[in-house]
Structure 1
Amino acid sequence: MTKRHPATIVARAGIAEDTAFGAVTPPIYLTSTYQLPALGQPGPYDYSRSNNPTRDVLGEALAELEGGAKAIITNTGMSACLLALQLLTPSDTLVIPHDCYGGSYRLFTNLAQKKQAFKLHIINFQDADWAEQLRLSQASMIWLETPSNPLLQITDVRAVCQLAASLKAKVVVDNTFLSPVLQQPLSLGADLVIHSTTKFINGHSDIIGGAVIAKDLAVGEELKWWGNCLGLTGGAFDAYLTLRGLRTLNLRLKLQQENTAAVVDFLAAHPLVAKVYYPGLTSHPGHQIAKEQQLGFGAMCSFELNAPAALLKDFFNALEYFTLAQSLGGTESLICHPASMTHASMDAAAQQRAGIAATLVRLSIGIEDVADLRADLQQALNVVAQRLAD
């Protein structure tokens, strides 16, 4: 059989593979422990922190989607980040982007400063001399987030990976914003891919989870050992729900991207919007690279309100179909204020370096009728316009 397409992988994950009773959909194994055949004769499963059949089905599907050799399913997206960092020693240097997700930034900086788990170097991969900065960093691991959160900046994964190979540094790519349906970093040269499966992969805002996918099987087995050792592995029920959500990933993203493009067009033409951040815009500085390394522009966008930050409260309060909440990637449309929510763990100076303005708003576009989404944004912006006129 030839290599399967993503839509087939997600639809067929675990289907008709039950050897016990021939169940079409994969059963959920909620057991914590397993009976051994006999003393001194362990079976393939002994304790669910180490191995679980339901979790394994999800891991196999994500590994195939990303083109990796091994996937480890974790209990949160942040534990997936922590798991990947186990490949580093205190003498190693981790290079991170200056505008990474606030929770990741908090983890990296505190592990480096408080635990001396590794050395840390921060680079703006949008700088013209990023390659020279990287050469001087003595990197052991390079962490990329593309598109970035929340400004949707694009990093050339292939170019970074080519340089990393000469530096003998591993490259980790956080692929949460796009999912493996829209980007496969391992095919661009990356060594590891990270996901918060909470987001697009699950797609229904009802679980917390993560995943690490390794290109090399030996690295994957090492990370699996650490996942069991540290207790970072995910639960069976979360894996079951994530599998269920995964089956509609292609369909959801198709509609979400259509809705996002329409919302972006609306925002770009509105006088109360100062700037729109979306790689699908030809004016976006990373548009061409995004076209080359992605299979779509995703369902996330951000914009800066062309009004004082004090009026954001009126704007958010007026919305009906956009829910003010953290997270992203669900079927429902969400809106958040990065400076006080997702990136609040960054101090003011770090936010300023990352370009996170006080008036920046981030949208996660869902599957609602786009006419309703545009109308909701319009009436909320009308409230802002009225406040400005008062």
Structure 2
Amino acid sequence: MHTDSALISTPLTAELLRGALDLERTEHGLLPHRLPAWARAQSADPQLGLAEAQPSGVRLVFRTRATAVELDTLPTRRGYTGAPPRPDGVYDLLVDGEPHARATASGGNVLTTDLSTGAVEHHPGAPGTLRFTGLPEREKDVEIWLPHNEMTELVALRTDAPVAPVPDRGRRVWLHHGSSISHGSDAASPTATWPARAALRGGVELVNLGLAGSALLDPFTARVMRDTPADLISVKIGINVVNLDLMRRRAFGPAVHGFLDTIREGHPTAPLLVVSPLYCPLHEDTPGPGAFDLAALAEGRLGFRATGDPAEVADGKLTLTVVREELSRIVRERSAGDPHLRYLDGLELYGEADHAELPLPDGLHPDAATHLRIGDRFAGLALSPGGLLS
């Protein structure tokens, strides 16, 4: 790790970070979290622990005249035995809201999961340095969006001119919760996840609680949303509940009501949008649990399959079709007493015709181009003047 001694070192503090709800001091530096420590303590699920520590939507934001920026980070990457290697995490640098540069960090830790046994091996690594040069020589706002899919410890920030926090720009804060798709699985970069794309197009400040595999109506997540300052709120519910076979129809409805009740305790009149699942043939009419497709893995590709029996829907098992029916009904019933509550059918963001054109590569997650389409549609439907979150 080489550094330019002529650069100015700026301490990494909460004033320079947006989108994180907690910052942990580690032996290397600062680790952003998207759930506070008290919420993390209420679940021992390693999937949730990994997801919330991946900084989807978290970005360094500062004002400077600097033309050169260096950032030392320690990434923690994931890998799967027998599956193709995952691409390294991407950092997007924006100048006054416009894309300027993209980079990846060298070094870092690696977590390797054996999909046949679930065993995880940790291979420690060293921090690396990102260098961005050629920034315009004027006062400007710089944003460095951290990798959405890579735990990232921030070690040091250096620039060739002083750095200051960006004053409040008066933008509305959009708080969103969802699954791995909202987290950004298979998006090309942190500003190309569908929530980031929508936020940038809609001119709002994003707090992304898209948690891969963990949009499970957890009460602590609802309390985090209740306590997080926000002007606009959305919750995208369904796919994780189905592919984990977490609950039956009898439990699902009251759980959704409870989740929304808790959010409303802290945000009684904020626009609140309930979004149902995107189109996913795997689980449209077939319940979970979902599982890795071992035949696909044998061919060197990642895939998923549904293991439930459609006949069990009559006994209360959930499918995406059932979830959409339930969410539509719940919002319709609640809206009489909650005029700021709205419903968005996920099929309007990605439906059967979209799947025919842009199929889900692993059967579950959209590809990079589809993230952009979903983000653009959400911005138009929800974040535009007169939209569902207006």
Band the TM-score falls in, shorter-chain normalisation: under 0.3
When you count strand as a share of all residues, which structure comes out higher? 2
Higher helix content, 1 or 2: 1
Query: What TM-score do you get using the length of structure 1 for normalisation?
Result: 0.26
